[in-house]
Amino acid sequence: MTASFDTLFAIASSARDNAYAPYSNFPVGVALVDEAGNIHAGANVENAAYPQGWCAETSAISSLITSGRRKITQVLVVADRIPGGRFCTPCGGCRQKLSEFAAADVVVWSCDPAGEVLERTVGQLLPEAFELIEQS
Ligand code: THU
């Protein structure tokens, strides 16, 4: 089951509204779809001890796994543009985390708050990913 862009964008945007990002002032929201078509939202959660914070993707993956799912079939990220006017794509660590549960052809939509979008696949974002279990 595939979720529409508009549905995922609305859910990720509302997660972003709840992000806890008082240090960076860079709130991020994510919506993931699992193998049953359920949607999992996540936001970044920062901490006064900076390295203890984590990304929105990590929050959303945690929700998906906690609900008993093991596959990511769609990803949508909402954040402000980053320097150079570029879209906020998942950070390097989150690319690795996503690739644990997402096949290389899974689409990642990176959106700005206005809904402009850059489309990439997990395989494009993390070519030659390190894995010890083959993705089915
Ligand atoms: N961040 C995310 O949540 N996801 C990304 O894809 C990029 C970065 C967060 C981490 C930190 O809370 C803030 O954005 C600034 O780096």
Residue ranges of E strands in the chain = 29-34, 39-43, 72-78, 102-111, 117-121
Is 57 noted as a catalytic residue in this protein?
yes
How many angstroms separate the first and last alpha carbons of the chain? 17
Give distance in angstroms: CA of 81 to centre of ligand 1.
Answer: 12
| CB of 57 sitting under 6 A from ligand 1 | yes
* Pairing mode, strands 72-78 and 39-43: unpaired
| CB of 61 sitting under 6 A from ligand 1 | no
Q: Indicate the pTM of the whole model.
A: 0.97
pLDDT of 89 strictly over 80: yes
Active-site residue (options: 57, 116, 119, 134) = 57
| CB of 88 sitting under 6 A from ligand 1 | yes
Residue pair 78/112 in contact (Cβ under 8 Å)? The answer is: yes
Write 80-83 long-range contacts (CB < 8 A, 24+): 80/26, 80/112, 80/113, 81/112
Residue pair 26/16 in contact (Cβ under 8 Å)? The answer is: no
- Report, as an integer, the average pLDDT of 29-38: 98
pLDDT computed for residue 135 by the predictor = 76
- Domains, the chain, with CATH or none: 5-125 (3.40.140.10)
Q: Report the nearest-CA residue for atom 3 of ligand 1.
A: 55
Confidence of residue 85 (pLDDT cuts 50, 70, 90): very high
Give distance in angstroms: CA of 84 to centre of ligand 1.
Answer: 17
